[in-house]
Amino acid sequence: MLTLSPDSWTEYELIDSGFGEKLERFGPYRIIRPEPQALWEPVLPESEWKKLSDARFDREQKEHYRFTDEVKGGWKGKMPESWNVSYRYDHKFDLKLRLALTGFGHVGIFPEQGANWNFIFDALKSSPVHKPKVLNLFAYTGAASMVCRMAGAEVTHVDASRPGLNWASQNMLLNGLDSIRWVYEDAMKFVKREVKRGNSYHAVIMDPPPYGRGPDGEKWTLAEKIDELVSETSRLLSKEPVFFLMSLYAAGYSAQVGMNVVRRHFKTGEQTFGEFLIRSEKSVPLPMGSFVRIKF
């Protein structure tokens, strides 16, 4: 079991965490957001958090030490409508990403995914396959899709959110990229249809949420659907697979859970699993979900 920490960030920083929240810096701006796993006392006093922060997201729900499928709340503070940050991996790629404050407390990226972006780029670049085909499910604003294109892959980007697809398209233009295939559809429906069509991919990335809704109101619950999704997806990998990568953010699930699911449906490849960890210079490390990787 590995612990992944995003070490290539210069424009992101975890300043402190605790009492169900985290204080982070994205580029020049510092924000406070809910973090159900931060059960400890913060290192910095509350007065310092207020002094340092540019904006804060407050949840309406009283129990902020748990996730729900409907996050309600709002931002307080003065912030631009959007701004950009960069993520650099050695001399291999320079990823530009548009950020903005959303109505559900996100900003458009999950910074801990930086370690996975590095893995994706290296795996595709070292593959003997010319222009490998990558399927990115629950692809959100497309950071992983951008990295795949930078590595020379053909990318199919699937998400059930129109705003998410529009955001990803903006990130594509911001990075001077093109030719990403955008698919607005429920991930499970798309995967099953691709299996029936006989299509295949050299690599699959998935980041299924704990809860969600498809374009036609399809209900997604991780606990009910994850095994079926992984099973169906395993049938999409080509005879020359490069990698399979899954991230899980359901609070309370051990990293071993994802690995157990994946091992039932993938019998070959170098299998690795573990948890994301964001380190802080002044505070304690913050766990941020888990991952499963298979390198073929």
Phi, psi of 17 (to 5 degrees): -155, 160
Per-residue pLDDT tens for 115-157?
Answer: 999 999 999 999 999 999 999 999 999 999 999 999 999 999 9
Q: Is the separation of the CB atoms in 78 and 55 below 8 Å?
A: yes
Tell me, what's the pLDDT at 60? 67
Tell me, what's the pLDDT at 72? 66
Q: Is the separation of the CB atoms in 154 and 185 below 8 Å?
A: no
pLDDT tops 70 at residue 161:
yes
Per-residue pLDDT tens for 253-264?
Answer: 899 999 999 999
Q: What percent of the chain has pLDDT over 90?
A: 85
- Helix or strand or coil: residue 236? coil
Residue identified by tokens 């859970």 is 257
- What residues contact 96, with CB distance under 8 A and at least 6 apart? 84, 85, 86, 171, 174, 175
Between these two residues, 65 and 20, which has the higher pLDDT value?
20
Q: How far apart are the C-alpha atoms of 213 and 269, rounded to whole Å? A: 32
Query: Tokens for 133?
Result: 């085909």
How many angstroms separate the first and last alpha carbons of the chain? 18
Per-residue pLDDT tens for 211-229?
Answer: 888 888 888 889 999 999 9
Neighbour tally for 135: CB within 10 Å:
28
Task: List the domains of the chain with CATH numbers.
Answer: 111-295 (3.40.50.150)
